Amino acid sequence: WWRVPDSGVGRRYALVITRRAALYALQEVARLAKLHLAAVDSGPLALARATNAPEGIVIQAESDGCEVVVLKEGRPGLVRSAFWGAEVIDLETLAARVLDLVERSVATHNDTSPTGPLSGDSPIYLAGAATEALGSQIAQSLGRPLGNWAPPLDFPDDLPLADLATNLGLALREVRR
């Protein structure tokens, strides 16, 4: 957990929960590789940092699952992850699952957020292998524009930002301290 800087709505904290076995497994891998883990970070939070956006919906879709981050006031307001198994599914089924998760996530955020709902024109930021095939369909179905990844770093014009979004966000964790 950590305290989120005050934004006028009172004291706020961010809390990340994971299974103990997953954390122990990561620590064991690091120990065997003779690496020192200074910190562990969440993929969805890294994705949120990589957008450098005040508001939007970050979607990382893969064939086996999806992560959704709803950004409001430059911070993750809601994070959802879904794993639907390793079986191969067709693009139509994948699109339906991603859209369902995103729509439910945005509805939950809009119904429960103390900072209010997202505006209807908040962009979506797409990352992950499955979003290349589904990107325009997702944007059209949600009725939202596609946002451009704009991490606060200098980078070459041809850098595949959507493919590297999580890694860029992890690097930004150290930059923003």
99-145 pLDDT per residue, tens: 999 999 999 999 999 888 999 899 999 998 887 778 888 889 999 99
CB 67 within 8 A of CB 43: yes
Q: Which residues pair with 78 in a beta bridge?
A: 70
CB 64 within 8 A of CB 134: no
139-172 pLDDT per residue, tens: 899 999 999 888 888 888 888 888 888 878 878 8
Give me 31's structure tokens. Answer: 């120990």
Query: Would you say residue 177 has pLDDT above 60?
Result: no
Q: Among positive and negative, which fits the CA dihedral 156, 162, 167, 169?
A: positive
DSSP state of 86: S
**Parallel/antiparallel/unpaired status of strands 12-14 and 65-72:** unpaired
CB 46 within 8 A of CB 60: no
Question: Model's pTM, two decimal places?
Answer: 0.80
